[in-house]
Amino acid sequence: MPHAELKYSSDLGIDAPKILRAIEECINDHDPNAGACKGRAYLTDIFHHTHILVDISMLPKPHRDTAFTVRLRDDLEHLIKGCLTKACKFSLAITFTDQIYITNEFVPEAYA
């Protein structure tokens, strides 16, 4: 399950839920088995230079090679910039978690 985080200046006035949905769709266009993308958005009133930082984190898989990552990066950049309406600094990172990363679900009843 990929993760997407938006960190951005409050003066951008972006539609974060729309961008997060679009990121999820884009990832699934490139990798139909990726599934849901957990997304979070953090805006701040304290900043130096108007900016947006987009962090995408995914599990490593054999098909997620350099060519895959470059294509995904380019499509995400185009998609996200298409949602912006104000000039800003733009950063996008796609990282892959290491082999000891765990992702699952917590069910309270299992710990009762």
Residue 5 CA to residue 94 CA, distance in Å, equals 11
Instruction: Please check whether the domain covering 3-111 is classified as CATH 3.30.429.10.
Output: yes
Average pLDDT, the chain: 95
> Above 80 in pLDDT, residue 112?
no
For the stretch 25-79, pLDDT in tens is 999 999 999 999 999 999 999 999 999 999 999 999 999 999 999 999 999 999 9
Provide the 8-state DSSP code for 2. Answer: -
Phi first, then psi: give them for residue 51, nearest 5 degrees: -155, 165
> Above 80 in pLDDT, residue 21?
yes
Which among 87, 37, 83, 40 is positioned nearest to 58, based on CA atoms? 37
**Distances from the Cα of 86 to the Cαs of 39, 69, 83, in angstroms?**
22, 27, 10
Which band of pLDDT confidence, cut at 50, 70 and 90, is reported for residue 102? confident
What is the percent of the chain where pLDDT is above 90? 88
